[in-house]
Amino acid sequence: MARCSVVIPAYNSERYLASAIRSALSQTFADTEVIVVNDGSTDATAAVMDSFGDRITGVHQHNQGPSVARNVGMKAASGQFIAFLDSDDLWLPRRLEKMISMLDENESLGFITSDAYLINEDRPTAMRYYGTLVDPAPFSSPNHAYWIVRQNYVFTGVVVRRELFDQHGTFIPHILAEDWDLWTRFIVEGSSVGFFDSPLGYYRIRKDGLTCCAEFEAQRDAAQYRTLRDPRVMKIPGLGRDLYYPLGQQALQSRDLDQARFCLTAATADPEMPLKSRAMAGLMATFPTSAARLADRQAALETKMTNRVFELSGGQLKDSSGRTYRTTEDIHGYLESAGQWGPVSGWAAGGRGNHPVDLLALFVDGAYRGSAIPSVLRPDVADHLGSPGAVGCGFCFADTDIGWEPDQIVQVLAVRGGRYQELPELLPAPRPT
């Protein structure tokens, strides 16, 4: 019986699986077993597993998806701790040693994750998972339940105390975002998650990865909506103001009146919801059809107020008049690759005037992705366009290469269907030269 069981689900993973297995077998924490679940692969995954002989425990099944594969691996595991490693990711040798030591020292923690370096396809980088793809700030918050419902901030490479599965269940089969669903159940039901802030492995970004497909986006949203129906989640302070209310407004715009009514009604129960917004949510929940018509009129009015449209094409930022704004190659690549992580709902760039763009901040899938670049969202922009992360949120250009201060804002952009529109009515008055 091993103290820690490493579970690796594998589907058509012949290209990366051997490296993943070797990184698990090379851990300095010796009391470990490695279990690889072949989820009905049609390539040479089984042969790769056989090449390791009895150093691993191999399990073969018909293709049933990663949730079932992880659950099957857990059933075959004997460890007090269960550690999950995706078949295309890698661990540094001391990962388990450091993480299990942290769990041993903090009995209040139910599970733990760590930072990781990013691999772009086959190219290792110095960029980190936290700070580039995900903001690590929720780990320092006292309210993990609030944050896990808003976004999946827990890197999938976790080490979990086995008893958590007995208490809260395992991965739900046949859904995507299955890890987010499970972490949410753990945390909402009282478990705490820990974070080791040094990179202890590598996370691979692939164009053909599950998290890059449209189906994932839809099912991830469905997973969040399932969570929002949980009565315990509805009682978490702040979610009515920051999540239920914006989602209710979005549901009105898409004419999903049942969803709008539910979200807006839930928002009215949030004690942190401002009284004015709470009253408005109550009215919209009571008269959703009329509220949807008003939202359409407001959207039409905002469209009329725009005077320029910006599009990113061929490494250049162009407006509707044909004027070109130079962008640096790395920023162009950042914007292009952002779609691999989720929909870009807003972005801002700054340099000296309109040339060259050398600062970047953006929101992807409702979360800030900034790579250590500061950004400013002015209160009047936020009031006009809605909460950050919603389609239509506003961002600002700055005309300085020294800092990024509110009084340096010269342009305000909004997102309309993937295009970037300037809102002239929010531009500040010209400053004296």
Q: What's the whole-number average pLDDT of the chain? A: 76
Inside any domain, residue 287: yes
Could you tell me if 266 and 230 are in contact, meaning their C-beta atoms sit under 8 angstroms apart? no
What SS3 state is found at 17?
A: helix
Inside any domain, residue 170: yes
**Of the candidates 267, 268, 70, 246, the residue with the CA atom closest to the CA atom of residue 172:** 70
Same-domain status, 409 and 357: yes
**β-strand partners of 324:** 318
> 249: domain range?
237-305
Q: Over 209-272, what HEC string results?
A: CHHHCHHHHHHHHHHHHHHHCCHHHHCCCCHHHHHHHHHHHHHHHCCCHHHHHHHHHHHHCCCC
Question: Could you give phi then psi for residue 281, rounded to 5 degrees?
Answer: -60, -40
Residue 111 identity: F
pLDDT at 170 over 70: yes
Same-domain status, 413 and 374: yes
Q: What's the pLDDT at 158? A: 97
Inside any domain, residue 232: no
pLDDT at 378 over 90: no
Q: What's the pLDDT at 214? A: 52
Q: What's the pLDDT at 183? A: 95
Same-domain status, 194 and 339: no
d(CA 182, CA 167): 12
Same-domain status, 175 and 260: no
- Mean pLDDT across 257-265: 93
Same-domain status, 261 and 169: no
Same-domain status, 300 and 315: no
Inside any domain, residue 222: no
Same-domain status, 264 and 399: no
| Number of domains forming the structure of the chain | 3
Written as six digits, the tokens of 43 are 């390539």
Inside any domain, residue 215: no
pLDDT at 375 over 90: no
Q: What's the pLDDT at 298? A: 64
**Which residues make Cβ contacts (< 8 Å) with residue 89, sequence separation at least 6?**
20, 116, 157, 201, 202, 203, 204
Same-domain status, 263 and 361: no
**Of the candidates 405, 292, 297, 418, the residue with the CA atom closest to the CA atom of residue 347:** 418
- pLDDT one-digit tens code per residue, 179-206: 999 999 999 999 999 999 999 999 998 7
Inside any domain, residue 416: yes
Inside any domain, residue 273: yes
- Mean pLDDT across 333-338: 49
Inside any domain, residue 433: no
Please identify, among 260, 288, 305, the residue that sits at the C-terminal boundary of a domain.
305
Written as six digits, the tokens of 223 are 């997973």
Same-domain status, 14 and 120: yes
- Angle among Cα 117, 163, 221 to the nearest 5 degrees reads 55
Same-domain status, 140 and 14: yes
Same-domain status, 166 and 26: yes
Question: Could you give phi then psi for residue 171, rounded to 5 degrees?
Answer: -70, 135
Same-domain status, 277 and 313: no
Q: Each residue of 285-294: b (16+ CB within 10 Å) or e?
A: beebeebbee
Q: Each residue of 136-173: b (16+ CB within 10 Å) or e?
A: eebbeeeebbbbbbbbbbbbbbbbbbeebbeebebbbe
Identify the band that residue 3 occupies on the pLDDT scale cut at 50, 70 and 90. very high
**β-strand partners of 347:** 362
pLDDT at 306 over 60: no
Please identify, among 279, 305, 331, the residue that sits at the C-terminal boundary of a domain.
305
- pLDDT one-digit tens code per residue, 58-98: 999 999 999 999 999 999 999 999 999 999 999 999 999 99
- pLDDT one-digit tens code per residue, 89-127: 999 999 999 999 999 999 999 999 999 999 988 888 888
Please identify, among 271, 289, 305, the residue that sits at the C-terminal boundary of a domain.
305
**What is the pTM for the complete model shown?**
0.68
